Amino acid sequence: MSGRLTECFATLKEDNRKALIPYITAGDSNPTITVPLMHRMVEAGADIIELGVPFSDPMADGPTIQLACERALEHHTSLHDVVDMVTEFRQTNTTTPIVLMGYLNPVEAFGYEEFAKAAKECGIDGLLTVDLPPEESTQLVAVLKKYDIDPIFLLSPTTTEDRIGKIVHAGSGYLYYVSLKGVTGSSALNVDEVATNVAKIKTQTTLPVGVGFGIKDAESASAVAAVSDGVIVGSAIVKIIENNPDDTDTILDQIGALLSSMREAMDK
């Protein structure tokens, strides 16, 4: 496991707090905003940052994050650029864990070994590839673990107990529980169902479980934090960028305010 992720969850547990894990797409709405936004999110209470790698066919994502990928790709933001952004972020922040989230294709194009080496050097802690099932992940997982990068996997409401076993065996760092059937940005979060399914996952692993999809505001963040180890927020943040694509100050202020309100509600 990556030192930063292990340490982060251990510290949170000691303080009886839960992880706030915001997601943004790197390069959205333009590449110059990504690093300042990462710093602002940490100031607002983020514990871990999920940084999306833009991809032309983001099949697990709803319209909000699809559009974020399109905006980032208009600026030709590549996986190499994302590595450079993390390098810049690490010049002043060496403690906040960073997990790259995206699809396998850019990592394949980069090369597993080359990517893992670059990720280790710039300070990336984990990789979540949405379209890589654990059964097909052996080669990539081996390379990631060689460089102390955590492979992070998704579980969903339809994941069977047998399959949970395979996923927890392949993954490290934390597990990402998708709270809804559907794409990112879906609504209708059922916290009781989340609680039941997180408890079921916990019978098979000691890994922390973060919950994403459907968390939009302080109230939903607080409810999910009560039944999990971390709250993952994506579309609600990306929507702010979509609504103010050319206004950096508004983006920074509104995302900071949203995360601060979530942090406060989660810590109550």
Active site amino acids: 50, 61
Closest CA to 115 of 154, 153, 135, 141: 141
Pair 90, 122: CB distance under 8 Å:
yes
Rounded Cα distance between 187 and 210, Å, is 18
Pair 17, 260: CB distance under 8 Å:
no
Closest CA to 174 of 127, 141, 220, 237: 127
Question: Phi and psi (nearest 5°) for 126?
Answer: -155, 160
Rounded Cα distance between 30 and 125, Å, is 24
Closest CA to 122 of 101, 91, 166, 76: 91
- Structure tokens belonging to residue 14: 């000691």
- Structure tokens belonging to residue 73: 């790709």
